[in-house]
Amino acid sequence: MSAAPESPFKTESISLIQHLYATASVTKVTVRWRDSLRQIMASCIAHCIVIAAGANMAFSAILIPQLRASKDIPITDSEASWIASLVTIALPFGSLLTGVLMDRFGRKATCMISTVPFAIAWMVMAVASNLTVIYVARTIAGMSSGLTSVSLVYISEITHPDYRPMLLGLNSVYVSLGILLTCLLGYWLQWRMICYVFFSIEVVVFLCLFAVPESPHWLISFRRNREGAARSLRWLYRDAKIFDDEHRRLSSTLLKSESEDHFKLFHINTYKSPIVYKPLIILSVLFVIQQLTGAYVIIFYAIDIFRKVYRNIEGDHEEYLALVLLGVVRFVTAIVASIVAKRVGRRSLLFVSGAGMCVTMFVAGIYMHANTGQDDYNGNIGLVCILGYVFFGTVGFLVIPWTLISELLPVKVRGKLGSLLIGLAYVYMFGVVKLFPGLLGVVDLKWVFCGFSAVNLIGVGFTYWCLPETLGKRLSEIESYFL
């Protein structure tokens, strides 16, 4: 039986797409800083939804000691571990839900939706009278943290390629801000008051999101709304030449999406295309490496690790100071990294990050081994290595794998498949964080550090051989790399 003839419209559409891409490559329009101010403002507002995600990571470090000290709600060690880990367990459910919500209701709308359960979680926590209510609040908060992954997709679709790496990198800045803000508030406020503060922040963020436009890529790909997409682009690009250039490219996206089949998450044909399965494999491996480097373990167990490495830390005041110090290092580094990302590519940042983490972990492990039982052991060297590890981790492996989801995956699969990847990453995180205390029971910390060092070396090699550069490239250009 002969094959069905190809549709003339489809052939013309593909030819037009190729013509548009060719024309765009010749007439590239430069976007100046003043032309990008609206993109920056919209990105900063969208990133505000992850402040609460960072606060969730650090809140258990404040809540558990205060509960034990006040006896307001008595807890055991086992119950304390559940307070800390429930957020991580619930994260994948929120992440998977994000893909459905952002494809159905839009990127901006899902950003707004994510603030609602966060506000509910903070209020439930603030009025909690027993442990069960705290568990419920932490579970809701964990699912809400999973929803915040929509901000990366939204920002990747509203920003120009020249500014996208920098603006995506701000995600880590806002997560770090949430961590730092929680640690600072823990110095002066009781945990219930901290909940009220973060509830107020959620209300403000929800109202601010009304000011930003919907993603023009979503309006084109999922709603076929040319007028709405043009309005969003006009809001983002006030300069007429830049608007015309971006509008032409967006029109090519519509033609391309019309020639593609509808994405089905659990259909085998979905993954036969190299622009889907190649970035999926790269990102999956990258997330496994990210978790095995210990990048998040150090943050979750910072105080316990500081006690083992830097033996002079004693008492509550020093422990909170160590938390704040770690938070400051991550926050400042995240700001610097987001600025540098405009000039330096993802590959280079991951090289520096992996190499730095490899060296600092190796030095810490070998120094601890060489000075076991020595009276002249200098804990400051271990302290510097840990802070250096956090610094180098924030430069690359803590941040970049998350932002690459929004750059490597095609628009049609980015919502659902990206959410699936993020959900799996949080499952990996839960496994590593949960197993770490047990691992320390059978392996000395110094050898765990050396293991982290080896994994980081593997990460550098994987980056060199498998990861393409995305700096300055349009989403369509990145897709063409995998063909």
Residue 16: pLDDT band by 50, 70, 90 thresholds?
very low
Percent pLDDT > 90 in the chain is 27
Query: Is a pLDDT exceeding 70 seen at residue 21?
Result: no
pLDDT at 201: 95
Q: Which residue has the higher pLDDT, 16 or 180?
A: 180
DSSP codes of every residue in 411-444: HHHHHHHHHHHHHHHHHHHHHHHHHHHHHHHHS-
Query: Is a pLDDT exceeding 70 seen at residue 219?
Result: yes
- Whether the pTM exceeds 0.85: the reply is no
Domain boundaries in the chain?
34-212, 270-482
Give the tens place of pLDDT for each residue, 303-332. Answer: 677 777 765 555 556 666 777 888 888 889
Sequence-separated (6 or more) residues with CB below 8 Å from residue 424: 92, 284, 287
Residue 209: pLDDT band by 50, 70, 90 thresholds?
very high
270-482 shares the fold of 34-212: yes
Which CATH number applies to 270-482? 1.20.1250.20
**CB–CB of 131/75 below 8 Å?**
yes
What does each C-alpha distance from 94 to 8, 66, 121, 126, 264 come to in angstroms?
Answer: 43, 28, 14, 22, 19
Give the tens place of pLDDT for each residue, 262-303. Answer: 555 556 666 678 888 889 999 999 999 999 998 888 877 776
Instruction: Return the DSSP state at 209.
Output: G
Tell me which architecture the domain covering 34-212 has in CATH: Up-down Bundle (1.20)
pLDDT at 319: 65
Angle (CA) 448-454-459 rounded to 5° is 125
Give the tens place of pLDDT for each residue, 81-136. Answer: 788 778 888 888 888 888 789 888 999 999 999 999 999 999 999 999 899 999 99
pLDDT at 3: 41
Give the tens place of pLDDT for each residue, 346-374. Answer: 899 999 999 999 999 999 999 888 877 66
Query: Is a pLDDT exceeding 90 seen at residue 480?
Result: no
Q: Nearest-CA neighbor of 17 among 28, 25, 29, 5?
A: 25
Residue 41: pLDDT band by 50, 70, 90 thresholds?
very high
